[in-house]
Amino acid sequence: MLVDEFSPASSLLPYEPIALREYSFLGRQHNVKVHVRPASI
């Protein structure tokens, strides 16, 4: 998971280049290993 200093922007997906141009406060992030599993029904 990509964890950004601006926590609402953290995501499993990388930023699109336009997002970094439009929102200069994004991009200060680091990788965190997470386990993903399906939800039980």
Domain boundaries, the chain: 2-31
d(CA 7, CA 5): 6
Percent of residues, the chain, with pLDDT higher than 70:
100
What is the pLDDT at residue 31? 92
Residue 20's nearest CA partner among 35, 6, 34 is 6
What is the pLDDT at residue 3? 93
Name the token pair of 6. Answer: 């601006």
**Given pLDDT bands bounded at 50, 70 and 90, which one contains residue 32?**
very high
Q: For residue 39, is pLDDT > 90?
A: no
Residue type at 12? Answer: L
Please answer whether residues 4 and 26 qualify as being in contact, where contact means their C-beta atoms are separated by less than 8 angstroms.
yes
Q: Could you tell me the pTM of the whole model?
A: 0.63
**CA dihedral over 28, 10, 15, 6, signed as positive or negative:** negative
